[in-house]
Each structure stands twice: as C-alpha cells, then as structure tokens.
Amino acid sequence: MTRVFNFSAGPATLPEPVLRQAADEMLDWQGSGMSVMEMSHRGPQFMAIMADALSRLRALLGVPPGYEVLFMQGGALGENAIVPMNLLGDQHSIDFIDTGEWSKKSMQEAARYARVNVAASSAEDPAGSYTRIPARETWQLDANAAYVHICSNETIGGVEYGFTPDVGSVPLVADMSSSILSQPVDVSKYGLIYGGAQKNIGPAGLTIVIVKTSLLGRALPCTPTAFNYRVVAENGSMYNTPPTYAIYIAGLVFKWIEDQGGLAAMAARNAEKAALLYDALDRSALERGGLFVTRVARDCRSRMNVTFHLRDEALTAPFLAGAQARGMVQLRGHRVLGGVRASIYNAMPLAGVQALVAWMAEFEAANG
C-alpha cells in the first residue's frame, strides 16, 4: 500500500506511527480483549486513556494552574454558540476581530446571544478580502465587552496571527482549531482557547476547550447542561459520554509530538515546511512572471494553510489533476476562494512539501 501526501484542511493527515499503533490495538487494547471503541467510558481502561491524554496535553501546552482542560463535542462551530453562552454572564457585548470566513461564522452565531462589536476587520483590504491581520493599534475595543474573540489561524484564507494581542483586562478568546499544537503558546495570556481536533490532534468528533477557572459559573440560563463549562469541568469531561475513540487517538498524537521533541520542535519543522513552499511562490512571482500567486500579506502568512492561485485560473484544474496523479491529494482551495490550498499541519512530512514544490516547478516550466 502506498500512502498519498494528504493536504486536506481537515479532517487532516495523521502521523503514520499513530495509525499503525491504532491498527495494532484495534481488536485488543493492551490485553483488555476489547477495542477502545467498545469500552465503557467509566471503566478503568478508558479512564486510564483519558487521564493520560489529559496529562500529556497539559504538559505539551504548559497549561498553568487555574485553567480547566475540557474534552467536548460539537466542533468549533458548536463552540461559536457554547462560548458566548458560557462567558456572557450579565454582560451584553462581545468584541470580534474579523480576519476571515471563520471569524465571520463566529460573529454570526454570537449575534444570536449578544451584541457583536467588530473592533477591527480586514475584509476591505485593498489587495483583496482577508489578506492580513489588522494592526493592533487600529482595534476599537470595548472595555465593557465580555471578551475579545480572535481566530488565530484562518483555515480558508491562510491568514495567521504572528503575535498574541494584548487586550487588557478583558478575557482573550481564541479559536485555535488549525494552529493548536503547531508551536508553543502562552496559555496564561488567554481566557479561553478552543479548537476542533481534526487538524493537528486527531479525528473529527473531539473538541478541546482550555478555560480559565475564574470564568466558570457565568453561563446563561439557556445553556444546555451538557455544554455548561462548569458542569463539564466538575464531571471531568464525562457529564455525557465523551468521544472515546477520538480521545484515544488524540492521546497517541500527543505522545507522538512528545517523541518529536515537543512543540518547539514542531514549530521548527512547521517553519521549515512553510518557508520551502512560500519561497517557491515568491520565486515564481519574482523570477518567472508569477504563474503561482499568493495574496496573503507576508507577515500574516499561515504556516498551516498555504493558499495560492494560478495566474490563469484555467490552469488550476490541470495542476490539481497532475498533483493527484503524483500522489498529492486534497489540494483544491475552499469553494469560497478557489485556487489551491496546501494544508501542512504537524503530520505532513517535509517530503510532501518537497514533492509539491517539485511539481510546481515542473508545471511552471511547461506552462510559464
């Protein structure tokens, strides 16, 4: 069997050693005679899996005391409702920094529960919509907002924060679905971090929430009990049956990251992959007339989702077809933007990016 280089934005490629271990343990987890899929979530075997995954995640991210780590369901889209339900309390407004399609979705959902203040937006960029992060000094924040919401990495547009914004005493909330575990992060600068697992953590179905303990207990009366952060925390993420198999795979991924050298090593590897691909795009623009073009501002380029277009859109389909014939799949850009999107999360090997860059050069030589 030959595995392809899978550039999917999510669900995304997983580390091969993790998949092989999961396959080996599919029918019998460590002599239990059961698959993890079959275990009681309150039995000793799964409780050990859960505790191990939680411990490894806290260690990887350096989660300080005073924060709860929750394993939930519903995905980041679900959290777009669950976060305001839990954090509004007796306040009525939320500040949003609008940097792309996922920021828009977060704002649209939050508007069902609170007044949304768009404190800054890059939607009207002269170079095209959502090509940068608005400069911090331009943000018009409300000191009475319940929290400030950002999306640390816009999966669709390929725009990423290169800094952690200081928003004063108002809690900072971040959707880190597509950047979590790609580099070290100072959790203490955030009131809440959330993200779907299906990019850098594991299969779809698990959602990670890291929330400051002091923010618990502010849930609106309409908040479903199963999504009340205080209830989830008090019950060890087991108020309802957790996504057991997804948590098991996540634990294996956390161990794999540790074996690679932790988040500092991940950051270095991700920077190398991104630099290789962006260098190829920049050379195309400067040396060969720009068959390939990336529209994202240089200082806001995502390390996880590299988006670009072909100068002649008619060449996009043959470029993608040629990539697939060479074992590179899921490169089509999101339907909102079109073009090409190469998602190069932690588990994407350097060889995959090297293969893509080689195909770009070959295609440009034939069509430039």
Q: For residue 289, name the pLDDT band (cuts at 50, 70, 90).
A: low
Kindly state whether residue 276 falls inside one of the protein's structural domains. Answer: yes
For residue 128, what pLDDT is reported? 54
The residue behind tokens 């709860």 is 68
For residue 288, what pLDDT is reported? 55
Tell me: pLDDT of 125 over 80: no
For residue 267, what pLDDT is reported? 98
| H or E element at residue 253 | helix 244-260
Report residue 343 as tokens.
């998602």
Tens digit of each residue's pLDDT (9 = 90 or more) over 13-31 = 999 999 999 999 999 999 9
Q: Is pLDDT larger for residue 117 or for residue 368?
A: 117
In CATH, what number is assigned to the domain containing residue 347? 3.90.1150.10
CB 176 within 8 A of CB 195: yes
29 included as an active-site residue:
no
Residue finishing a domain among 260, 294, 323: 260
Mean pLDDT of the chain: 95
Residue finishing a domain among 239, 260, 281: 260
- pTM to 2 decimals? 0.96
Q: Report the candidate in 13, 6, 20, 3 with the shortest Cα–Cα distance to residue 203.
A: 13
95 included as an active-site residue:
no
- Catalytic option among 199, 212, 255, 273: 199
How many percent of the chain have pLDDT more than 70? Answer: 97
What letter does residue 100 receive in the DSSP assignment?
S
CA contacts within 13 A on the Cβ side of 52: 17
Q: What is the mean pLDDT of residues 331-344?
A: 94
CB 167 within 8 A of CB 148: yes
Q: Are residues 168 and 46 in the same domain?
A: yes
Kindly state whether residue 98 falls inside one of the protein's structural domains. Answer: yes
Kindly state whether residue 11 falls inside one of the protein's structural domains. Answer: no
For residue 337, what pLDDT is reported? 86
Q: Are residues 177 and 266 in the same domain?
A: no
Q: What is the mean pLDDT of residues 244-259?
A: 98
- Catalytic option among 29, 98, 175, 273: 175
> What does the CA dihedral 75, 77, 79, 85 come to, rounded to 10 degrees?
-150
Strand partners, 71: 208
- Catalytic option among 29, 95, 98, 102: 102
- 3 state DSSP class of 56: helix
Cα-only R_g, the chain: 21
Q: What is the mean pLDDT of residues 182-203?
A: 98
Cβ contacts of 222-231, under 8 Å, gap ≥ 24: 222/85, 223/82, 223/85, 223/86, 227/72, 227/74, 227/78, 227/82, 227/85, 227/86, 228/86, 229/68, 229/70, 229/82, 229/86
Report residue 192 as tokens.
């809440």
CB 340 within 8 A of CB 317: no
Q: Are residues 146 and 164 in the same domain?
A: yes
Q: For residue 290, name the pLDDT band (cuts at 50, 70, 90).
A: confident
Q: Are residues 256 and 266 in the same domain?
A: no
What letter does residue 332 receive in the DSSP assignment?
B
Tell me: pLDDT of 1 over 70: no
Tell me: pLDDT of 127 over 80: no
175 included as an active-site residue:
yes
Q: Are residues 310 and 166 in the same domain?
A: no
Tens digit of each residue's pLDDT (9 = 90 or more) over 298-315 = 999 999 999 999 999 999
